[in-house]
Amino acid sequence: MAVTHPVGRNAASRKYDILTALGALALSQDKSAQRLTLRLMTLITARYNWRNDELIVGRVEMARLWCVDERTVKREMAKLKAMGWIEVKRAGARGRITTYRMMLDRILDDTRVAWANVGPDFEARLSLETEAPQPATGQGAIVAFPGAKQVPAPDVSSGDPWALAAGMLHGDDPQSYGAWIAPLTHHDTRGEVMMLMAPSRFHASYVQTHLLRKIERAVRSLDVDVSRVAVLFPEG
């Protein structure tokens, strides 16, 4: 799918198409998914800069707009990042708010199942506009290497801290996630320690050596009461 950001001559209709697709998908989902999508749509309508491809809104302002507390804002934004619908364009720093961008390719791909609910004209138009260009004759096509298994992103609808963290890690590096993080399961959380279970001693050792800091950063970013992650493995 090849989608350009809505600027220029057809920008207005493109924006409405994206919002319509999001709304149609939300109406076909449960209340939790509807609420999350409505919150994103409100942010897009109120604060998204389409020309610069930027969403710059602080957590306090989001909390006021959504009528929730800042902890909920953190969790909802973590869900959207885990779903691949937004990504950080510029990380926040002292005196500067984090800047996000909308991942329109992913949003349109995920809403495709609801296009027909709007009408056949809407579905046909978006299908035509988002169709990936075919390679020119003689140039060949991109072929995936054998064994390069694509693991889908985890379900983040439950809001479970480990599911959200795993979703963020999948978005950062799908290959590393598929090989090393997807097999991890949430074993228990005791106090400030989240315990994950690896399928083997070797797997646990690799994760502890190469990925533990990255996993801990993802977990802490969700504002849960966890300061450390431990990776366990089955005995015997």
pLDDT value of position 49: 93
Q: Please tell me what DSSP assigns to residue 172.
A: H
Look at residues 109, 129, 149 and tell me which one is the last residue of a structural domain.
Answer: 129
Q: Are residues 77 and 166 in the same domain?
A: no
On whether both 123 and 181 belong to a single domain, the answer is no
Q: How many structural domains compose the chain?
A: 2
* Of 86, 58, 56, 87, nearest in space to 70 by CA: 58
> Same structural domain for residues 120 and 226?
no
- Looking at the chain, the whole-number percentage of residues with pLDDT higher than 90 is 51
Residue 149: pLDDT band by 50, 70, 90 thresholds? low
pLDDT in tens, 189-198: 988 999 999 9
Predicted local distance difference test score (pLDDT) of residue 131: 67
In a domain, 217, yes or no: yes
Least confident of 8-22, 52-66, 112-126, 155-169: 8-22
Residues 119 and 190 in one domain: no
More confident residue, 95 or 20: 20
Full residue range of the structural domain in which residue 106 is found: 11-129
Instruction: Give the pLDDT confidence score for residue 136 in this predicted structure.
Output: 47
Strand (E) or helix (H) holding 142: none
Residue 2: pLDDT band (50, 70, 90) is low
Final residue in a domain of this structure, among 85, 109, 129: 129
The answer, yes or no, to whether residue 59 has pLDDT greater than 80, is yes
18 and 121 share one domain? yes
Least confident window among 105-109, 135-139, 193-197, 203-207: 135-139
In a domain, 207, yes or no: yes
Question: Is the domain of 210 the same as that of 110?
Answer: no
pLDDT on residue 157: 76
Could you tell me the CATH number of the domain that includes residue 186? Answer: 3.30.300.180
DSSP for residue 223: T
| Shared-domain flag, residues 62 and 168 | no
Residue 144 pLDDT class (50, 70, 90 cuts): very low
Burial annotation 168-198 (CB, 10 A radius, 16+ → b, else e): bbbbeebeebbebbbbbeeeebeeeebebbb
118 and 174 in a single domain? The answer is no
Instruction: Say if 109 falls within a structural domain.
Output: yes
Helix (H) or strand (E) holding 134: none
Q: Is residue 151 part of a domain?
A: no
**pLDDT confidence of residue 168:** 85
79 part of a folded domain: yes
Whether the per-residue pLDDT at 221 is higher than 90: the answer is no
| Residue 103 sits in the same domain as residue 21 | yes
In a domain, 112, yes or no: yes
Query: Beta strand pairing status for 193-197 and 185-190?
Result: antiparallel
Both 120 and 167 in a single domain?
A: no
Q: Single out the residue in 129, 150, 176 at which a domain terminates.
A: 129
With bands split at pLDDT 50, 70 and 90, how would you rate the model's confidence at 75? confident
Same domain, 109 and 203: no
Q: Residue 167: what pLDDT?
A: 86
The answer on 91 and 26 residing in a single domain is yes
In a domain? residue 30: yes
- Asked whether residue 171 is domain-assigned, the answer is yes
Neighbouring C-alpha atoms within 13 Å toward the C-beta of 95: 0
Q: Is the pLDDT of residue 208 over 50?
A: yes
Residue 5 clears pLDDT 70, i.e. is over it: no
Which CATH number fits the domain that encloses residue 57? 1.10.10.10
pLDDT at residue 140 tops 50? no
